[in-house]
Amino acid sequence: MSSILILYSTTDGHTRQICQRLQAVVEARGHRVTVMPLADATAETLAGADAVVIGASIRYGKHKPEVAAFIARHQAALEARPNALFSVNVVARKPEKNRPETNPYMQKFLATLAWKPQRMAVFAGRLDYPSLGTLDRTMIRFIMWMTKGPTDPTAVVEFTDWSKVEAFGAELAQMVPATVRP
Ligand SMILES: Cc1cc2nc3c(=O)[nH]c(=O)nc-3n(C[C@H](O)[C@H](O)[C@H](O)COP(=O)(O)O)c2cc1C
């Protein structure tokens, strides 16, 4: 049984939910999985993992600075084992922007990194208008209006394609050999 570490950087929790779905898929394929906030992971945490996955969401055009900082600090440890990166954003609701090669945030982010993740994914996120403060809600509604998305301030919209998340989970499970089969 191999141990896969899934680290998340989230603001509202949706990236954590995606990580938990990945965990269920990977565990069902015979691996041990630890899901934790990226901020809590240390060099020792990485040393104990056979493979590492980092998931991060976009807010106002950027992943949190902690993501690039973590990657720079631990690049050697990431490269020493199978590794993967995924991004969560609502631009990825558009079919022409929902792959690592076509998602502008993923492409911009990769260009800033020396690390080349072995596997990558992009998932569409979730908008929960009622839970946002007035300024964020107004800004996001404006961005959605400009990009032909939902603008109803009472709406909660989940764009995530969970079958795509599960397919990525199956891919992650193949990064390491499984000795225990379900
Ligand atoms: C204040 C705010 C700003 C956002 N900015 C962007 C953005 O610039 N581009 C984008 O594609 N998605 C943007 N999103 C959508 C988030 O990426 C999406 O809600 C995602 O599911 C958030 O994941 P999290 O809950 O893990 O933080 C924004 C969401 C909020 C609430």
Which tokens belong to 10?
A: 């989230």
DSSP per position, 34-81:
EEEEGGG--HHHHHT-SEEEEEEEEETTEE-HHHHHHHHHTHHHHHTS
Region 146-159: mean pLDDT is 96
Q: How confident is the model at residue 2 (pLDDT cuts 50, 70, 90)?
A: confident
pLDDT in tens, 12-38: 999 999 999 999 999 999 999 999 999
Distance 57 CA to ligand 1 centre (A): 6
| Cβ of 64 below 6 Å from ligand 1 | no
Does ligand 1 lie within 6 Å of residue 59's CB atom?
yes
pLDDT in tens, 95-113: 999 999 999 999 999 999 9
Asked if 61 contacts 87 with a C-beta cutoff of 8 angstroms, the reply is no
What is the average per-residue pLDDT within 125-147?
96
Mutate which of 19, 58, 97, 106 for ligand 1? The one with the most ligand atoms within 8 Å of its CB, which is 58
How much is the pTM? 0.96
Q: Where does the pLDDT of residue 182 fall: very low under 50, low under 70, confident under 90, or very high at 90 and above? A: very low
Mean pLDDT of the chain: 96
Atom of ligand 1 nearest to the CA of 124: 21
Q: What are phi and psi of 172, to 5 degrees?
A: -65, -40
**pLDDT on residue 179:** 58
Query: What does the alpha-carbon distance between residue 61 and residue 63 come to, in Å, rounded to a whole number?
Result: 7
Instruction: Verify whether ligand 1 is closer than 6 Å to residue 58 (CB atom).
Output: yes
pLDDT average, residue stretch 74-91: 98
**14 alpha carbon to ligand 1 midpoint, in Å?**
9
Q: Return the higher-pLDDT residue of 177 and 46.
A: 46
